[in-house]
Structure 1
Amino acid sequence: MESVSLKFDTLFTDLKEIVMKVDATMAGLIAVALVAVLITRYIYRWQNPRCNGVLPPGSMGLPLIGETLQLVLPSPSIDLPPFLKKRLKRYGPIFRTNVAGRPVIITADPEFNHFLLRQDGKLVDTWSMDTFAEVFDQASQSSKKYTRNLTLKHFGVESLKEKLLPQMEEMANQTLRKWSNKDSVEVKGASITMTVNFAAQQIFSGDLENAPLNISEMFKDLVEGMMSFPINFPGTAHHKCLQIHKKVRELMKDVVGKRLAAPERSYGDLLDGIIQDMNTEAYIKEDFVVQLMFGLLFVTSDSISTTLALAFKLLADHPAVLQELIVNSHEEILKNRENVDTPLTWSEYKSMTFTMQVINEVLRLGNIAPGFFRRALKDIPVNGYTIPKGWVIMIATAALHLNSNQFEDPLAFNPWRWKEIQPSVVSKCFMPFGSGMKQCAGAEYSKALLATFLHVMVTKYRWTMVKGGKIVRAPIIRFPDGFHFNISEKNN
């Protein structure tokens, strides 16, 4: 009996082990099946986001990263990046995508864009990419109106008329004289130095002259990181951008602190005005002042310098445009003066019709910003589709500026085209500084600085490219080898 009992015990143990092994295998298979179902469900949800209607056509790309890699892939051309060109051809002027894990609608529809830019605070609000949101403190958004009014006061038309225009001309003279004493100049980088230093003088009267770090040099590396994938890890462009931002803010905080500690000092600059307003506006704190100063320097550092560098190249490549600019625009101004050495006047600046056509054409081809961003505050119907609430909308200005339906031979540098372009085309398809109430408050300042610099450049200097010249878009325009020019005075 004991032998039989032992056999039964052994058999039961063996059966138990078999059942346990089967159970473990089944449990593993079930777990794998559940994971597969969850992954499949996640991928399906990623590719088919919820929408109270029909989403615009497009692709959401790979999970987590979306189509970010395709978007930032460099394209060696002034033309639209392949990312935009292929999708506009396949899906039409409005399509969906995903950038850095965020659903985005990209629109190149002139009518819809024109409508959308007039819906701020109603259907949409302003939105910033994650990197910009980190660098430009979103807490200051409540003071947009104050910031705009302050910018218009110190950099707007009246300030240009009263003092800035002759200062710009003097800056251009000093800068070009310095450049002409060198074998060659990398114009983009040198222009950043010029524009940042000039703006800093207006904002805080050059209080950084004795700073341990050169602020204009730091701004040269800042923009590259602003357009990078938002991964804050040592060695990445994004990490470098945040480190530079921190150092610049520390320098500016030191400037503000010294100015607050010595209220008897008065320079009549923008910082003086802000400090006076601190007594009446509760939201103006020291951090806000530092952030505002940083933002104003940033917007002058890249857009003007990139446009100016591109103007150097395009004018050098198109001698007929340069000749028209010299003879029929700027030499004409000098001929009409009693004294050729008198400073540039506001009426002379406003008479530069062809110069403005050249600037418009450079801005159109350059497309300095990849676009304008908005966030849907509610579901937005458009052309039979629905843009869901919360989604980001990118108004692709490059696609508007290079639209062959609006601009004949859009890749050609042809300033004369602006003689015949209709106002409706300009309002809906040309927006280098934004549109409507959201147009950049520094738009006139930028155009005046560019026009003044061109005035000095074409009347007194000649230039020849000696190195570089490549142009890429990734997705904003960049010059990987730089634009190196030899600059010399005409009378030498």
Structure 2
Amino acid sequence: MFPPLVYVIVILIIALLNWLYSWRNPRCNGVLPPGSMGWPLLGESFSFFSRNTSFGIPPFVKDRMQRYGPVFKTSLVGRPVIVSTDADLNYLVFQQEGQLFQSWYPDTFTEIFGRQNVGSLHGFMYKYLKNMVLKLFGPESLKKMLVDVEQAANASLKRWSMEGVVDVKEATAKMIFDLTAKKLISYDSESSSENLRESFVAFIQGLISFPLDIPGTAYHKCLKGRRQAMRLLKNMLQERRERPRKVQGDFFDYVLEELQREDTVLTEAIALDLMFVLLFASFETTSLALTLATKLLSDHPLVLKQMREEHDAIIKQKGDADSGLTWSDYKCMKLTFQVINETVRLANIVPGIFRKSLRETKFKGYTIPAGWAVMVCPPAVHLDPSKYKDPLDFNPWRWEASTHTQRVQGVKNFMAFGGGMRFCVGTDFTKVQMAVFLHCLVTKYKWDPIKGGNILRTPGLQFPDGFHIQLSERD
């Protein structure tokens, strides 16, 4: 007879082995895509968050594509995930929003952005918030905002030209944040006693990092930055309530009106999370794209030459170099829009777009179980040589073709701004800011790269050393 302790140990070992087997071989009413679930609870999170300095498809995804194919299973931060690098599956996921799939992010993301942020809401509430945002970022509002964007760009560039060496990433982030914060909440960084953007800088540093909430980690700093920013926004909302303005002057006034309506569905928590997301999304991604665009133009003098010719022609046609841009001028920037598309295709600022399967879904012989997360991987499509010739080359002219077939394929093959009904509502605002800034830059200034410009992905895009240039007026 063995001692009772031996039986207990044997039972525990059997239970542990059974648990490990179940973890590595999830149950499914069909055939799961191939792949590895990694370590229990941790999954393959460490590999996913590992750093790389490539413009190519992230090593985590590329290695598994080569091993398993375009659709594979994994586990990230304890959650089973189907990763899709297949354009057809990506299209299905976006088009079946609310039917087969719905927007979803890991719990760590909702802790960062708020549990009632616009990305986590569905149905009527999502459409309601989307319509609210379009009041600020819709085409009619952007036409009126064009002059403000141009003035901000000109003022910033003039100041940079007198400062010597400027970090484009930091400088454009400040420029865009100040403009957006003014439109959203009438925030003025020069007169405010508290630095709102500093809270967002702390927030950004840990946004896409391993979710370990321990002092000293990037994730802990990220949560701390969110708390600071939310405290400032809540104080501003309370001050606005106590001293309401007679005329609606910014988006905060509009939100306050909505909160005060008797039949409103808006809550203070949703309103504050919305403000937080809008402030973050409006400046961080655009400043990254502008930094990369400036670097790519520096590295490709022919593109820069033709960009200058396009924008000089716009000014010449106006006949007055000092008159501001019109909406018609903006719409004439053909090559500029091609440069923007090519920049964001290469930038792949968002490494993954998450959805959750609402029902069991069959795709090309595989089964996606209900409740599993699906991560659409834009870089894998944007850098696929079968869809983009020499995909790592900066070639704005690849966007010249506009046949019907190519436009239809473009919906599947270009996801820099999302897709389906959750296509980013700030896309037009981003394009306006980029196009107007580039117009002011190439028509009035020249620049020399000084240092930096190296990229780092963790897996989100970063410029760890910035991109420092010396700006001077054109002859």
TM-score normalised to structure 2 length:
0.95
For the pair 1:109 / 2:86, whether they are aligned, the reply is yes
For the pair 1:66 / 2:43, whether they are aligned, the reply is yes
Task: Pick from 178, 185, 192 the counterpart of residue 166 of structure 2.
Answer: 185
For the pair 1:275 / 2:237, whether they are aligned, the reply is no
Question: What's the counterpart of residue 426 of structure 1?
Answer: 410
Counterpart CA distance in 2 for 1:130 and 1:211 is: 33
Counterpart CA distance in 1 for 2:228 and 2:189 is: 13
Question: What's the counterpart of residue 8 of structure 1?
Answer: none
Question: What's the counterpart of residue 322 of structure 2?
Answer: 341
After TM superposition, the structure 1 = structure 2 runs for residues 192-207 of structure 1, keeping only pairs within 5 Å, are 192-206=173-187
1:211–1:251: 8 Å Cα contact kept in structure 2? no
Task: Spell out, residue by residue over 1:122-159, the C-alpha distance to the aligned partner (whole angstroms, 9 max, x if none).
Answer: 11110013232112223352632222111111111101
After TM superposition, the structure 1 = structure 2 runs for residues 205-354 of structure 1, keeping only pairs within 5 Å, are 205-206=186-187, 210-280=191-261, 281-327=263-309, 329-354=310-335
Q: Which amino acid aligns with 1:204?
A: I
For the pair 1:151 / 2:133, whether they are aligned, the reply is yes
Counterpart CA distance in 1 for 2:196 and 2:108 is: 20
Task: Pick from 457, 466, 483 the counterpart of residue 441 of structure 2.
Answer: 457
Higher-Rg member (1/2) = 1
Question: What's the counterpart of residue 8 of structure 2?
Answer: 31
Task: Pick from 42, 67, 76 the counterpart of residue 53 of structure 2.
Answer: 76
Gaps of 5+ in 2: none
1:192–1:305: 8 Å Cα contact kept in structure 2? yes
2:178–2:189: 8 Å Cα contact kept in structure 1? no
2:97–2:420: 8 Å Cα contact kept in structure 1? no
2:205–2:221: 8 Å Cα contact kept in structure 1? no
Counterpart CA distance in 2 for 1:490 and 1:357 is: 24
Tell me the number of residue pairs that the alignment of Structure 1 and Structure 2 aligns. 466
Q: Which amino acid aligns with 2:413?
A: C
Counterpart CA distance in 1 for 2:148 and 2:377 is: 35
Gaps of 5+ in 1: 1-21
For the pair 1:46 / 2:30, whether they are aligned, the reply is no
* Cα root mean square deviation, aligned: 1.5
Q: Which amino acid aligns with 1:400?
A: V
Question: What's the counterpart of residue 91 of structure 1?
Answer: 68
Q: CA deviation at 1:377?
A: 0.6
- Check 1:385–1:408 CA distance in 2 against 1; reply closer, same or farther (3 A cut): same
1:192–1:220: 8 Å Cα contact kept in structure 2? no
* Identity over aligned pairs, percent: 42
Task: Pick from 455, 479, 490 the counterpart of residue 463 of structure 2.
Answer: 479
Question: What's the counterpart of residue 428 of structure 2?
Answer: 444
Bigger drift between 138-147 and 231-240 goes to 138-147
Counterpart CA distance in 1 for 2:27 and 2:290 is: 45
Task: Pick from 364, 371, 376 the counterpart of residue 383 of structure 1.
Answer: 364
Q: CA deviation at 1:265?
A: 4.5
- Check 1:207–1:194 CA distance in 2 against 1; reply closer, same or farther (3 A cut): closer
TM-score normalised to structure 1 length:
0.92
Q: Which amino acid aligns with 2:395?
A: N
- Check 1:207–1:336 CA distance in 2 against 1; reply closer, same or farther (3 A cut): closer
Q: Which amino acid aligns with 1:104?
A: V
- Check 1:207–1:184 CA distance in 2 against 1; reply closer, same or farther (3 A cut): closer
1:278–1:284: 8 Å Cα contact kept in structure 2? yes
For the pair 1:132 / 2:109, whether they are aligned, the reply is yes
Counterpart CA distance in 2 for 1:204 and 1:266 is: 14
1:189–1:220: 8 Å Cα contact kept in structure 2? no
Q: CA deviation at 1:47?
A: 0.4
